[in-house]
């Protein structure tokens, strides 16, 4: 029942800083996703947690124990890598029992344990097969069973779904999450796929340039992005320019009500992030917070339509749900867009470029 705590962790490769002053607590039994663009330091951070990479500075604690200097094999954290790293010529059951054999567990006992684990990942009948005779999803389950063999206190996965096709990936995300919840094992998943992070995680850590940009539950990260980088990286976002005058937001020459009370100096240039599903195009919308717009393109996307608009604030995409009373939209139509106060996330203008 121990939390894993990272204190001021840093990693330099020569003069390049891969991970910068990371302070995090991974709570016991939770699944945390490390999410960010390529090169932001996710894998380096995971490898330091695993003991495969030594931090340049900082401390790792598991409960009260300082494990910073403990080598990987002493930590006994379960790991699943991108390519699963299974032994292709061994039988499934021997792959799963491998670490137990190294530990010196007797053959009968380790096979019994391996069968229990294969049962857990729904591969009880596959023990005698060779790895080469399995599908991608089955291999991934073997890799998970193998990583769980030593009853690890912490379970680490680096892009565990990247070798799977899209449909199987979604199924495995749900399966892995259900298994993790059943076992209540502290789990850290590295991914660059926001849907994967949203599907599985209790907590998402959004990283860029070696730093944690935001830490929180998926819904918070999506609905309350801490900065423009997170708003841009997670989900789809429209950005429009604005200014702040006497505490109010102005877009063009119009004043908009907002929920946030930005503490910007008078006249500050800001960028406003707006999720495409938040604006309203229905006639029942309030009169305030409106922009006039012209439709430039309509894209049907199954149950929703993307309406591309030209507005005085710049181009904008609005996601329109196609329900019973859905209205028709044609290119060239003029219409009003209502931007509810809760849709407007205001950030300093200078911060909007992607940090990575």
Binding site for ligand ATP (CB under 6 A): 13, 16, 18, 36, 38-44, 192
Which of residues 13 and 87 has its CB atom nearest to ligand ATP in the complex?
13
Helix (H, G, I), strand (E, B) or coil at 106: coil
Which of residues 43 and 289 has its CB atom nearest to ligand ATP in the complex?
43
Which of residues 205 and 228 has its CB atom nearest to ligand ATP in the complex?
205
Q: Are 310 and 246 in contact (CB under 8 A)?
A: no
Mutual orientation of helices 136-148 and 92-103 as an angle, nearest 10°?
20
Q: Which tokens in the block code for residue 329?
A: 């939209």
Nearest to 319 by CA among 328, 329, 327, 308: 308
302's CB contacts (< 8 A; 6+ apart) are none
Which of residues 28 and 192 has its CB atom nearest to ligand ATP in the complex?
192
Which of residues 43 and 214 has its CB atom nearest to ligand ATP in the complex?
43
Minimum Å gap between C-beta 192 and ligand ATP is 5
Minimum Å gap between C-beta 352 and ligand ATP is 21
Minimum Å gap between C-beta 14 and ligand ATP is 7
Minimum Å gap between C-beta 309 and ligand ATP is 34
Which of residues 43 and 95 has its CB atom nearest to ligand ATP in the complex?
43
Q: Which tokens in the block code for residue 196?
A: 């994967």
Minimum Å gap between C-beta 234 and ligand ATP is 16
Minimum Å gap between C-beta 207 and ligand ATP is 7
Which of residues 49 and 251 has its CB atom nearest to ligand ATP in the complex?
49
Strands ordered across the beta sheet of 314-321: 314-321, 304-311, 290-301, 334-338
How far is Cα of residue 104 from the mean position of the Cα atoms in its chain? 38
Which of residues 41 and 242 has its CB atom nearest to ligand ATP in the complex?
41
Which of residues 20 and 175 has its CB atom nearest to ligand ATP in the complex?
20
Tell me the sheet residues that pair with 249. Answer: 244, 256
Helix (H, G, I), strand (E, B) or coil at 119: helix
Nearest to 127 by CA among 150, 116, 136: 116
Q: Are 31 and 154 in contact (CB under 8 A)?
A: no
Minimum Å gap between C-beta 28 and ligand ATP is 25
Strands ordered across the beta sheet of 57-62: 16-26, 4-13, 57-62, 65-66
Q: How far, in Å, CA of 27 to CA of 12, rounded? A: 26
Which of residues 36 and 137 has its CB atom nearest to ligand ATP in the complex?
36
Radius of gyration of the chain (CA): 25
Tell me the sheet residues that pair with 116. Answer: none
Nearest to 142 by CA among 104, 170, 115: 115
CB atoms within 10 A of CB 168: 15
Q: Are 24 and 34 in contact (CB under 8 A)?
A: no
Q: Are 77 and 47 in contact (CB under 8 A)?
A: no
Minimum Å gap between C-beta 353 and ligand ATP is 18
Minimum Å gap between C-beta 99 and ligand ATP is 25
Minimum Å gap between C-beta 161 and ligand ATP is 13
């Amino acid at each position: 029942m121990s939390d894993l705590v990272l204190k001021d962790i840093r990693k330099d490769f020569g003069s390049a800083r891969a991970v910068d002053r990371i302070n995090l607590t991974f709570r016991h039994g939770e699944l945390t996703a490390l999410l960010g663009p390529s090169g932001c330091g996710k894998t380096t951070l995971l490898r330091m947690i695993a003991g495969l990479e030594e931090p340049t500075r900082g401390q790792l604690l598991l409960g009260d124990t300082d494990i910073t200097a403990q080598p990987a094999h002493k930590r006994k954290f379960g790991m699943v890598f991108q390519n699963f790293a299974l032994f292709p010529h061994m039988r499934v059951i021997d792959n799963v029992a491998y670490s137990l054999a190294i530990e010196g567990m007797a053959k009968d006992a380790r096979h019994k344990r391996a069968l229990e684990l294969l049962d857990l990942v729904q591969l009880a009948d596959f023990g005698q097969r060779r790895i080469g005779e399995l599908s991608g999803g089955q291999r991934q389950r073997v890799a998970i069973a193998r990583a769980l063999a030593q009853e690890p206190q912490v379970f680490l996965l680096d892009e565990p779904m990247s070798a799977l096709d899209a449909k199987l990936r979604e199924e495995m995300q749900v399966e892995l999450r259900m298994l993790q919840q059943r076992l209540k094992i502290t789990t850290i998943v590295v991914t660059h796929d926001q849907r994967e992070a949203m599907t599985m995680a209790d907590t998402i850590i959004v990283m860029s340039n070696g730093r944690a940009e935001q830490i929180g539950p998926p819904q918070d990260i999506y609905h309350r992005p801490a900065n423009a980088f997170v708003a841009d990286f997670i989900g789809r976002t429209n950005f429009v320019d604005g200014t702040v005058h006497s505490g109010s937001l102005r877009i063009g020459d119009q004043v908009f009500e907002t929920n946030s009370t930005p503490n910007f100096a008078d006249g500050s240039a800001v960028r406003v992030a707006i999720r495409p599903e938040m604006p309203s195009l229905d006639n029942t919308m309030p009169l305030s917070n409106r922009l006039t717009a012209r439709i430039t393109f309509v894209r049907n996307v199954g149950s929703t339509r993307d309406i591309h608009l030209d507005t005085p604030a710049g181009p904008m995409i609005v996601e329109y749900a196609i329900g019973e009373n859905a209205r028709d939209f044609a290119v060239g139509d003029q219409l009003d867009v209502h931007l509810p106060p809760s849709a407007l996330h205001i950030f300093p203008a200078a911060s909007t470029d992607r940090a990575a």
